[in-house]
Structure 1
Amino acid sequence: MQIPAFTEQHAEQLNNFLAGHSQAMTLAQSQGYLFAVICSPEPLDVHEWLEVIVSNTQGQLDEEILFSFMALYHQISEQVYETGFKLPLSLKHHADNDSYLDLDDCQMWCQGFIQGAQVYYNKLSQVTGLDAALLEALQTAYASLGFFALDADVIAAIAKQNNLSEVQLAQSQYELMGDFALGFAELIEIVAVQSGLYTEDDETWN
């Protein structure tokens, strides 16, 4: 199957489709979730991740919607393993005001990321004998990429603790997310192999 390039039209189509399903993720959540899934040492089949994004569909999706999801998956995968991952455009600063960041979208992306990554993160972070520097890198990257999923009160307390406004903290964390996202898949692969739970030749490895 020829996977089309992911376009604004695909994004709009998925936004509208997901908004029409009360139990579905948002597009931003889907993007964060798929990023985590693509970086996973235990890749999911298409029907598995689709069922998480849009539950109770039993994989029965309109062909156009399925193609849009596949295009999104392919775009994220290509960025992660080839061109360099970029946080979705909807998370970037508003063109008219550099101090603006869409915190709702940030929160959604982070929630999706945590949902996709928490199982393998918990498994890897609990391995005994893991190199301390690698464990710290894993914990820091996971915390950064999931930062905006924290409660608003917790984020406010962190800002106060660091003598920053919440806007300043949000922008600095967003920039850190971009940095950690660039190397997250490579970090997971290194940690997974060193953990002994997986090997580089493991058939489940993508």
Structure 2
Amino acid sequence: MNELEFNYTEAHQRLLTEYLSMREGAFNLAQVSGYLFAQICSPDAVEVEQWVAIITADDNALAEDVMFAFMAFHHDISERVYTEQYRLEWDKKSSYTCRQHWSQGFLVGAEPYYEKLLNAQTLPDELKQALQMATEQLSFFSLAESQVREYCQKTGAVPMEFIAQQAELASEFANGYAQLIEAAALSCGLYDAESDF
């Protein structure tokens, strides 16, 4: 009997891109990527049905092949996060819009646990600062490009260089984000290593 293969392929990517483009109110693939990254890093278990409903705008008639493609995408991101090989899919040629969509999805996925951890009275200041810095950097591109260019104009920064620096910093923070969330969750006492991770 064959095991289910969860390798995320180009065919899965094409299927998801096509499905998401036709589904009104659904995330696009870059938003799904950011959202799944945040969910995978979460100390709170989220049922598959919950996250699928969010990214598909509550599609109750999701085709089996599309569901399988979402599961393969989730598995691919998860494998990369927990082997510390996660890299943002951006490069120097990536559009601002692509980065913005990833950050928007990330914010939707991270908000529930980020606020809970940040507001925990027992979270040490050092971890609180690290959590704020990493989350702000990963969500940086949720800002409108015009806001970033305006900031650059006020500070004298060169927009292309500043944006490239922010993308590089986001990539660095992404690789260790799951470990940071785990450390913060365990340190503040809201989660137990045995039962929650």
**Range class of TM-score, shorter chain:** over 0.9
Partner residue in 1 for 2:30: 28
Q: Does 1:41 align with 2:32?
A: no
Instruction: Verify the 8 A CA contact 1:41 1:189 in the aligned structure 2.
Output: yes
Q: Which amino acid aligns with 1:184?
A: Y
Partner residue in 1 for 2:53: 51
Offset at residue 44 of structure 1 (A): 0.9
Offset at residue 129 of structure 1 (A): 3.4
Offset at residue 92 of structure 1 (A): 1.6
Equivalent position SS for 2:193: coil
Question: What is the alpha-carbon distance in structure 2 between the residues aligned to residue 143 and residue 83 of structure 1?
Answer: 20
Question: What is the alpha-carbon distance in structure 2 between the residues aligned to residue 183 and residue 42 of structure 1?
Answer: 18
Instruction: Verify the 8 A CA contact 1:25 1:54 in the aligned structure 2.
Output: yes
Deviations 1:89-117 (A, max 9, x none): xx2223xxxxxx31111000000000000
Deviations 1:34-78 (A, max 9, x none): 0000000002111110000002213x3211111110110000000
The alignment-based identity, stated in percent, is 35
Partner residue in 2 for 1:77: 78
**1:110 is matched with which residue: 80, 94, 103?**
103
Offset at residue 159 of structure 1 (A): 2.2
The CA RMSD over aligned residues, in Å, is: 1.4
Offset at residue 151 of structure 1 (A): 2.9
Q: Which amino acid aligns with 2:131?
A: L
Offset at residue 164 of structure 1 (A): 1.7
Offset at residue 152 of structure 1 (A): 3.1
Q: How does 1:63-74 map to 2 (within 5 A)?
A: 63-74=64-75
Question: What is the alpha-carbon distance in structure 1 between the residues aligned to residue 156 and residue 56 of structure 2?
Answer: 41
Partner residue in 2 for 1:13: 15
Partner residue in 2 for 1:97: none
Question: What is the alpha-carbon distance in structure 1 between the residues aligned to residue 122 and residue 194 of structure 2?
Answer: 22
- Give the stretch that moved more between structures: 40-49 or 160-169: 160-169
Question: What is the alpha-carbon distance in structure 2 between the residues aligned to residue 175 and residue 17 of structure 1?
Answer: 31
Q: How does 1:106-145 map to 2 (within 5 A)?
A: 106-145=99-138
Unaligned 5+ residue runs, structure 2? Answer: none
Instruction: Verify the 8 A CA contact 2:122 2:189 in the aligned structure 1.
Output: no
Partner residue in 1 for 2:143: 150
Instruction: Verify the 8 A CA contact 2:38 2:110 in the aligned structure 1.
Output: yes
Instruction: Verify the 8 A CA contact 1:3 1:74 in the aligned structure 2.
Output: no
Equivalent position SS for 1:6: coil
